[in-house]
Amino acid sequence: MTIARKIALMVALALVTSAVVSAVSLFGLQQVNGGVTAIAEKTLPAVLATGDMRARYLELHAAAYDRISIADPDQAKVADEKMQALVDSIVQQIIFYAEHTTDEAEKKVLDDARLAISAYVGRMTQVRNLAAMGEREMAMGVMQTQVGPIHRQLAEAFDGLLKVRTAEAGAVGKMAERTYSSTLGLSILAALIGLVLIGCAGFFIGRSVVRPLSQMQQAITHAVESLDFTDNLKVASKDEVGQTLNAYNRLLQRLRASFSEVQQASARMLSAAEQADGSARGIAANSRQQSDAATGMASAVEQLTVSISVVAHQAE
């Protein structure tokens, strides 16, 4: 594997780690966002609607007590219209709430509240009639003995709705908290695994590059100091470093071949020089022999000359 591919592998590991961490974080955010959306779109409006119904009912209940003390027909008419408007508003909210909920517990509570409102309206009609006839004490007795239990039933119904939605909001909040914790844990785990993989890849890649280069440096230093070009480097990879080591080994082979050729040429020159020296020695020996012969000839000529002179002298 080439160094470029090794680096690409490290980059790919980093990208995969980032993608996994991002995916886990995105999944967790979607889960939390779903919970927040559920609270914002369902739970919170339901709580507000329940609170509004409860507030209107309490206003209606207070108006019912006030109605007992009203003797003026015009004021009584205004109070009755106000109470009827509150009743209509509460009933409409209960119907709307029931149409938009899928929780069976809520539907049961809303049905009970609607029945209780109907019973409450019936008792309030009796209270208004008694108040119109001036029977305020009887009207107050009906409020306390007959309307009171209905009032407690309605209060419990509205409180039950609030408890259901509060419990739902708490469940969604716990789910979001669990999702956050699990997402954080998975993100940290994925990041740690990615860092370990990247670290291991970086270690082995660095080792695969540094060790051959260190080996090459030591070999070159040894060759320079001892002028020994006989050792080849061990090549264990096919990347750029391995190719460099192969090129260095080929250089050593070329150098050894060149040194061998130079050695052979030197041997041939030495042989030729020895032959030339032998020839020179032979020529010198021949020269000495010729010189000795010339000297002997000269001596003989000299003796002959002396002999001729002696003979000539005797002839005289």
State the pLDDT at residue 191: 80
Closest CA to 87 of 113, 107, 112, 66: 113
Top CATH class of 3-203 equals mainly alpha
**183-202 tens-digit pLDDT:** 778 878 878 887 888 888 77
In this predicted structure, the answer to whether residue 121 has a pLDDT above a threshold of 70 is: yes
Listed in sequence order, the DSSP H helices in 39-103 are: 44-68, 73-99
Residue with tokens 């209060």, as numbered in its chain? 155
pTM for the model: 0.48
**105-115 tens-digit pLDDT:** 777 877 888 88
CA distance 63 to 50: 20
**133-153 tens-digit pLDDT:** 878 888 888 888 888 888 888
State the pLDDT at residue 313: 66
**What residue spans define the domains of the chain?**
3-203
State the pLDDT at residue 3: 66
Dmax over Cα atoms in the chain, in whole Å?
Answer: 221
